[in-house]
Amino acid sequence: MIPVLRAAVNTLVHVPDLVRYGSKPFREGSRPGSFLADLKARLRTFEDAAAYPPHQAFIGNLRPESLADIPSPWYGHPLPGASHQGPFGEILGQGPFYSMLEKADQFGLVSLDAGWTPPANGASAAAKGLMSAGARRGTEKEIRRRIGSGEALALEHEGALIGCIRRDHEEDESLAARVLLENLAAKASGAHALRLLLEKARLPAEEVDYILSCSEEAIGDRYNRGGGNLAKAIGEMAGCPNAAGTDIKAFCAAPVYALVHAAALVQAGVVRNAVVVGGGSLAKLGMKSHRHIEKRMPVLEDVLGGVAFWVGPDDGESPRLNLEMAGRHPSGRPSTPQGMMEALVCEPLARAGRKLREIDKYAVELHNPEVTLPAGAGDVPLTNYRTLAALAVIRGEIGREEIPAFIRDHGMPGFAPTQGHIPAGVPYLGHALAAMRAGTMKSAMVVAKGSLFLGRMTQQADGASIVVES
Amino acid sequence: MDLDNQATIKQLVDAHGAENLVVVLGMSGEGVRIAAETLTTGDPSWAGPLAGVSLGLPVYHILEERVRTRLPAEIYAEKVQLMEMVLDVAQIEDALAGLRKTQAKRS
């Protein structure tokens, strides 16, 4: 059974009032003279976030390559007539998302004010199907009491209190209100991406057999921190009654690992239809906002990302996920940029007797440079493309003078929000699918890297790659 | 500059003496200037162990011509050649040259 990529979906949820619960702003908030007041003043409206060119590229209304023609700064050049619906994605507003959080919660953790009706913000039918009927709404008095007692965090919309989320144990850090908010945000945004995938690809929910979640949150309690299986919770919320599933954890490399696992399960005949899904990372909201505020920019890290991919058996028209060219980075290899790229790109190509130039496009870590450059973190995709081009020079495949052309032809500007696992190459798959179906592209390699050292268990980095080809 | 790295270098200076040490950087971008400044005149952000500590260490970058051309060919090919094509070497050399000029004027 040859595994193919049937469909891909990218979603964004614009959540300006939740940026304060990102890890950096939340820590900052308890310090004297914190930047939270400045942060509030620099948050974007839903319309501004929707018309932001990299977001339009993310949901498929703009080719990533076209970003190179838009003058910098991109936030100063919103796309006229931009829609929050795209061929393979949706930008969702905060109003419907709060309602989804309420629906995602089965333990009475989220209380929304009975007097507040979440605005639908033109949400898709897929999103509306995940909004709560509002059966468990609270009163403002009760919400204020919970926040005042310290058991709950305030939920605000356009600056006004509209609800709260409470902890579920007094001493368990894994069930603290902010942790549960992170987990529910990943669940709800993951379910949104999955539901949109089902609708766009016309895949009946009953036919999903297996779900692999590559979300980053550590779901669990004090005895099982990171216990997991957000996949099953997402599948339940998206209405996939026949789907089992599990989580794949590997920092930012997880989405590509999950695609490899999904393709392997389909190829082996264990399941027929597997779905890879990644929900958004609340912790990374406003991660570099202090730098953006210093530089008088809008707070650009105000969106949760979501991705979903359908991997199924060959239908005669979708591009194949070539497992013979799956790349991995064994623990005995150096974690240097060169060591990583040799293992993840050159070795799989060598196995297939191919050269670097023979892959049409490389989808590396696609972080939006407008977010990372002001924070001194460089242009991540450009550095990766330079590394690939330099490897091609060292291997005698191109001349040194051909580096800029190699980067232009085989690369693209970064267009993904800095949500860890979300930028990991996979947001390009929607574009690759469209190009392959139109006959303008034959192959794309997705290359993801993960910073394992952040967890302090090893000094190593990690990575995974996979080739999609028509 | 990373606070742990500042602490490590301070320990090395305490153990071996600044006159016996040379620093060879490997980072890129804005970090080069900041690290070089931190290791010579002190931490400009006043946040780390080298805040107000002027070590005056000689600071070079692995990709500066006078450093990379002295490496054994095998090590250059294995560990340096690729990054010479990836990073902006001219910017790195300019950043260090500018800092050395300012410091020479001061001293």
Do A323 and A30 touch, CB atoms closer than 8 A? no
Contacts of A36 (CB under 8 A, 6+ apart): A20, A25, A28, A29
Q: Measured between alpha carbons, how far is residue A233 from residues A104, A108, A193, A237, A261 in Å?
A: 9, 16, 14, 6, 19
pLDDT, chain A, mean: 96
Picking from A338, A379, A407 by the largest number of B CB atoms within 10 A of its own CB, the best residue to mutate is A338
Closest-CA distance of chain B to residue A255, Å: 26
Q: Is A138 helix (H, G, I), strand (E, B) or coil?
A: strand
Among residues A53, A58, A134, the alpha carbon closest in space to that of A96 is found at A134
Does residue A332 sit in the same domain as residue A293? Answer: no
pLDDT at residue A376 tops 70: yes
Between CA B93 and CA B100, with CA B97 as vertex, the angle to 5 degrees is 145
Number of C-alpha atoms within 13 angstroms, CB side, residue A1? 17
The answer to whether the Cβ–Cβ distance between B29 and A393 falls below 8 Å is no
Do A369 and A414 touch, CB atoms closer than 8 A? yes
Does residue A301 sit in the same domain as residue A443? Answer: no
Structure tokens at B89: 């070497």
Domain end call among A269, A289, A313: A313
The answer to whether the Cβ–Cβ distance between B85 and A338 falls below 8 Å is no
- A378 → closest Cβ in B29, B79, B85: B29
Lowest mean pLDDT among A30-39, A104-113, A163-172: A30-39
Does residue A299 sit in the same domain as residue A393? Answer: no
pLDDT at B86 (0 to 100): 92
Number of C-alpha atoms within 13 angstroms, CB side, residue A47? 2
Does residue A292 sit in the same domain as residue A357? Answer: no
The answer to whether the Cβ–Cβ distance between B86 and A391 falls below 8 Å is no
Q: Measured between alpha carbons, how far is residue A238 from residues A87, A188, A315, B39, B106 in Å?
A: 20, 9, 24, 55, 67
For residues A302-314, average pLDDT:
98
Do A414 and A294 touch, CB atoms closer than 8 A? no
Kind plus residue range of the DSSP H or E element containing A327: strand A320-328
**Which positions 386-445 of A are in contact with B (Cβ < 8 Å)?**
386-387, 389-391, 393-394, 400, 403
pLDDT at B107 (0 to 100): 62
Q: Environment class of residue B9 by beta-carbon count within 10 Å: exposed (0-12), middle (13-18) or buried (19+)?
A: buried
Q: Environment class of residue A467 by beta-carbon count within 10 Å: exposed (0-12), middle (13-18) or buried (19+)?
A: buried
Percent with pLDDT over 90 in chain A = 93
Residue A60 per-residue DSSP state: T
Q: Measured between alpha carbons, how far is residue A54 from residues A64, A296, B76 in Å?
A: 8, 19, 38
- The strand pair at A210-213 and A244-247 is best described as parallel
Domain end call among A260, A282, A313: A313
pLDDT digits (tens, 9 = 90+) for A147-170: 999 999 999 999 999 999 999 999
The answer to whether the Cβ–Cβ distance between B82 and A390 falls below 8 Å is yes
Rounded distance, CA B90 to CA B64, Å? 9
Closest residue in A to B31 (Cα–Cα): A376
The answer to whether the Cβ–Cβ distance between A386 and B86 falls below 8 Å is yes
Q: Is A381 helix (H, G, I), strand (E, B) or coil?
A: helix
Does residue A30 sit in the same domain as residue A87? Answer: yes
Does residue A11 sit in the same domain as residue A62? Answer: yes
The answer to whether the Cβ–Cβ distance between B82 and A400 falls below 8 Å is no
Residue A322 per-residue DSSP state: E
Q: What is the ipTM of this complex?
A: 0.79
The answer to whether the Cβ–Cβ distance between A387 and B86 falls below 8 Å is yes
Number of C-alpha atoms within 13 angstroms, CB side, residue B64? 15
Does residue A400 sit in the same domain as residue A434? Answer: yes
For residues A11-27, average pLDDT:
96
A234 or B102, which is more confident: A234
Rounded distance, CA A168 to CA A348, Å? 47
Touching check for A337 and chain B: CB below 8 Å? yes
pLDDT digits (tens, 9 = 90+) for A329-363: 999 998 888 899 999 999 999 999 999 999 999 99
Q: Identify the domain containing residue B85 by its residue range.
A: 3-106
Domain end call among A313, A345, A368: A313
Q: What is the DSSP string of A399-447?
A: -GGGHHHHHHHH-----B-S-TTTTBSGGGHHHHHHHHHTTS--EEEEE
Picking from A346, A385, A386 by the largest number of B CB atoms within 10 A of its own CB, the best residue to mutate is A386
Query: Which regions of A148-243 does DSSP assign to beta strands (E)?
Result: 152-157, 160-166, 210-213
Structure tokens at A90: 């949706």
Does residue A136 sit in the same domain as residue A239? Answer: yes
Contacts of A115 (CB under 8 A, 6+ apart): A140
Do A253 and A344 touch, CB atoms closer than 8 A? no
Length of chain A: 470
Among residues A63, A62, A96, the alpha carbon closest in space to that of A81 is found at A62
pLDDT at residue A30 tops 80: no
Rounded distance, CA A237 to CA A230, Å? 11
Residue A424 per-residue DSSP state: B
Q: Identify the domain containing residue A271 by its residue range.
A: 3-313
B107 or A416, which is more confident: A416
Give the confidence band of B106 by pLDDT, cuts at 50, 70, 90. low
The answer to whether the Cβ–Cβ distance between B83 and A337 falls below 8 Å is yes
Closest-CA distance of chain A to residue B85, Å: 6
* Domains in chain A, number: 2
- The strand pair at A152-157 and A361-363 is best described as unpaired
Do A287 and A454 touch, CB atoms closer than 8 A? no
Do A445 and A466 touch, CB atoms closer than 8 A? yes
Q: Is A69 helix (H, G, I), strand (E, B) or coil?
A: helix
Structure tokens at A255: 């989405």
Structure tokens at A413: 């500007």
pLDDT at residue A302 tops 90: yes
CATH number at residue A335: 3.40.47
pLDDT at residue B100 tops 90: no
Structure tokens at A34: 């914190």
Does residue A308 sit in the same domain as residue A339? Answer: no
Peptide bond into A54 cis (omega under 30): no
Kind plus residue range of the DSSP H or E element containing B67: helix B65-68
pLDDT at A333 (0 to 100): 92
A328 or B45, which is more confident: A328
Structure tokens at A199: 């609708």
Does residue A352 sit in the same domain as residue A398? Answer: yes
The answer to whether the Cβ–Cβ distance between A378 and B28 falls below 8 Å is yes
pLDDT digits (tens, 9 = 90+) for A244-272: 999 999 999 999 999 999 999 999 999 99
pLDDT digits (tens, 9 = 90+) for B14-23: 999 999 999 9
Structure tokens at A371: 């977010």
Closest-CA distance of chain B to residue A360, Å: 21
Residue B79 per-residue DSSP state: I
Does residue A274 sit in the same domain as residue A423? Answer: no
Structure tokens at A352: 């297939």
- Chain B contacts of A391, Cβ < 8 Å? 82
Among residues A24, A43, A42, A44, the alpha carbon closest in space to that of A34 is found at A24
* Domains in chain B, number: 1
Does residue A134 sit in the same domain as residue A225? Answer: yes
Closest residue in A to B80 (Cα–Cα): A338
Cβ pairs A/B, distance under 8 A: 29
